[in-house]
Amino acid sequence: MYWLFNIPSRQMMEESKCPGGLTVAVDKVDGHIWTLEERSQIFGEVYLLEASMDVESRELLEFLLLKLALRHAVDVREDRKKCLKGRGLIVGAIKHEFPKIVSAEFGINPNMHIWIRGNPPHYESIHLLILSAVNIFLEHSDDCILLSDKGRLFPILVKSLDGVTLNGAYPWTEKELGQFTFLYKFGSF
């Protein structure tokens, strides 16, 4: 395992970089710094959905609980926040803590912060599970942005008045996308 060191940065805060600092993971055994690839292989890749929704996080999680056959749990990687867990998927939602940062960076005014992570031992259909959760969130949001956390937040999908736009680096195949009813277009943002 590793220790996490959070290093706040006034410059990053002023530039509206979320969360306003750096986080470094140092191995407890040999002291090497873990790369994001190493952490993703062990703990799963993290996707963040910043959304504007009319429902509370608790209601949203209860709806997801029924739709995706998940169970209540606590996410130790997210400061022991309540989440839903199931075979291959971990999903959590809280009231957004940094809406101005997301608004300045991406032009979305979120009130909900959602994290979606693949559960590493069960990767056989992870992209389809993540897409199922994203589809449910799209149905309940006014506007949102799906980000991939690769050390720097990289936008994958945006929902706005123009509809749903997919950026070039999304993880889903055309076959997986074809199983869902939301209308989307390809573009860059």
Question: pLDDT tens digit string along 74-98?
Answer: 887 777 888 999 877 889 999 888 7
Residue 107 clears pLDDT 80, i.e. is over it: yes
**Mapping DSSP to helix (H, G, I), strand (E, B) and coil, where does residue 56 land?**
coil
Q: For residue 150, what pLDDT is reported? A: 59
Tens digits of per-residue pLDDT, 17-67?
555 556 677 888 888 777 666 666 666 678 889 999 888 888 888 888 888
Q: Under a CB-based contact definition with an 8 Å cutoff, are residues 157 and 167 in contact?
A: yes
Helices (H) and strands (E) in the chain, counts: 6, 11
How many Cα neighbours within 13 Å face the side chain of 2?
A: 19
Helix ranges (DSSP H) in the chain = 10-14, 36-43, 57-67, 99-106, 126-140, 174-177
The encoded tokens of residue 105 equal 């960076």
Q: Which CATH architecture has domain 44-186?
A: 2-Layer Sandwich (3.30)
Top pLDDT among 106 and 79 is at 106
Q: Under a CB-based contact definition with an 8 Å cutoff, are residues 145 and 50 in contact?
A: yes
Confidence of residue 112 (pLDDT cuts 50, 70, 90): very high
Q: For residue 3, what pLDDT is reported? A: 76
Domain boundaries, the chain: 1-34, 44-186
Lowest-confidence region among 96-100, 121-125, 131-135, 168-172 = 121-125
